[in-house]
Amino acid sequence: MSKPVNVIISGGGTGGHIYPAVAIANEIKAQLPEANILFVGAQGKMEMEKVPKAGYEIVGLPIAGINRSNMLANIGFPLKLLKSLGMARKTVKEFKPDIAIGVGGYASGPTLLMANMLGVKSLLQEQNSYAGITNKYLARKASKICVAYPEMGRFFPEEKVVFTGNPVRKDIIELDENQETALSHFGLSRDKKTILVIGGSQGALSINKGVAKGLDKLKNHGLQLIWQTGKRFLPKAKAAAEEAGYTDTYISDFVYEMDKAYAAADLVISRAGALSVSELCLTGKPAILVPFPAAAEDHQTKNALSLVNKEAALMVKDSEVNNELIDQCLELAENPQLQKTLKQNIKAFAKPNAAQDIVKEVRNIIGK
């Protein structure tokens, strides 16, 4: 009987890194039930909570990102890096992985670097349309690089690149919720078009402000709203809706039933993080993307433009939200032909079998 496969999965910092990593781990367990999986993350980041909740063990490194806006804040970075490299080396030597998978984020650098130095094969997963610094550096030693967008050979060795897409949650992939039933879940009418507003798990202040400012227009055009605000903006959002007398709304700090939210929506306003974009592609929803301008290397704008340039989505700059967002939303809501075009084109980016395809590459690398 062959020994179980040991797999390290490293990265995190945001949901856009963590949820694909967990989806990959779940698929490894589905295909190789005896596999041992260990996550390596960054201390104090959300993976330290989310990964154990998903049922996996995680080791935390003291690594942190470089603060580009305040260079003095980076004084402790060299020490954190050295300590993280030492801890990563110890973890790799003790766990003895057959493969190390890097999903981007602070922790993947030290972990994959040490794994490569100790002769462990590696696979990278790049979620964005613009490759991060860490993955570009680690690509030299990686056996394969699984990407979510076409034409990523401009960042990585072409022969290593596999276009798999981003793994997303199964409830989104298997979306079969009836729109009428979904609308009923949120207490909304089947006779009105529904706008879904999602600014990431924490909400997006600029989007929230733009929507709050435009509630009268949305109400007057007979549109209803599912609005994920994040915790901080929730009281202001509810107060703004009450002041506008706008009752055709479902307002919450966090929407847990995203499969129902997508099923209910006719149009979506969203940030352009990798995971959000992948979900929009799979659900085939006409979308207005508002990239977060402070994202590393402005990757959200690049994610959005990869769709905009193929007539698969619309985009409003963060700085122009107050003046443009609601007007664009109303124009799209009243233009069935544009909605149809966006739906057809965004679906071309969908990769529902991403997790299976990534694990297929993992198994090829380790000969399983």
Instruction: Flag whether 16 is marked binding.
Output: yes
Shared-domain flag, residues 175 and 319: yes
Instruction: Flag whether 14 is marked binding.
Output: yes
The reported pLDDT for the residue numbered 196 is 98
**Which CATH number characterizes residue 259's domain?**
3.40.50.2000
Shared-domain flag, residues 358 and 283: no
Which residues partner with 307 through β-bridges? none
Distances (CA, A) of 65 to 3, 9, 75, 340: 37, 19, 12, 41
Query: Per-residue DSSP letters for 168-210?
Result: --HHHHT----HHHHHHHTT--TTS-EEEEE--TT--HHHHHH
The reported pLDDT for the residue numbered 59 is 96
Shared-domain flag, residues 157 and 223: no
CB 288 within 8 A of CB 308: no
Shared-domain flag, residues 101 and 197: no
Shared-domain flag, residues 225 and 335: yes
In-domain check, residue 87: yes
Instruction: Flag whether 220 is marked binding.
Output: no
Shared-domain flag, residues 360 and 278: no
The reported pLDDT for the residue numbered 161 is 96
Instruction: Flag whether 300 is marked binding.
Output: yes
Question: Alpha-carbon distance 126 to 145, whole Å?
Answer: 7
Phi then psi dihedrals of residue 39, to 5 deg: -95, 145
Q: What radius of gyration do the chain's Cα atoms show?
A: 21
Shared-domain flag, residues 68 and 128: yes
In-domain check, residue 1: no
Instruction: Flag whether 128 is marked binding.
Output: yes
Shared-domain flag, residues 103 and 189: no
Shared-domain flag, residues 309 and 359: no
In-domain check, residue 244: yes
Instruction: Flag whether 274 is marked binding.
Output: yes
- Strands 224-228 vs 6-10: parallel, antiparallel or unpaired: unpaired
Question: How many domains does the chain contain in total?
Answer: 2
Query: Which token pair is 336?
Result: 């069935």
β-sheet with 314-315: strand ranges across? 249-252, 224-228, 194-198, 267-270, 287-289, 314-315
Tell me which residue of 306, 352, 314 sits closest to 333, measured CA to CA.
314
The reported pLDDT for the residue numbered 277 is 92
β-sheet with 161-163: strand ranges across? 57-61, 36-42, 6-10, 99-102, 121-126, 144-147, 161-163
Shared-domain flag, residues 151 and 14: yes
Query: Which token pair is 64?
Result: 């942190």
Instruction: Flag whether 277 is marked binding.
Output: yes
Shared-domain flag, residues 201 and 332: yes
Q: Which domain holds residue 33?
A: 6-166+353-366
Instruction: Flag whether 252 is marked binding.
Output: no
Q: Kindly list the averaged pLDDT for each block of 10 residues, start to end, along the chain of length 368.
A: 88 80 95 96 89 94 74 74 94 98 90 97 93 90 94 93 89 79 94 92 85 96 96 94 95 92 96 91 95 85 94 96 96 97 94 95 94
Phi then psi dihedrals of residue 64, to 5 deg: -140, 165
Shared-domain flag, residues 302 and 358: no
Instruction: Flag whether 122 is marked binding.
Output: no
In-domain check, residue 44: yes
Question: Alpha-carbon distance 65 to 12, whole Å?
Answer: 11
In-domain check, residue 295: yes
Residue 296 DSSP class: G
pTM given for the model: 0.85
Phi then psi dihedrals of residue 10, to 5 deg: -130, 140
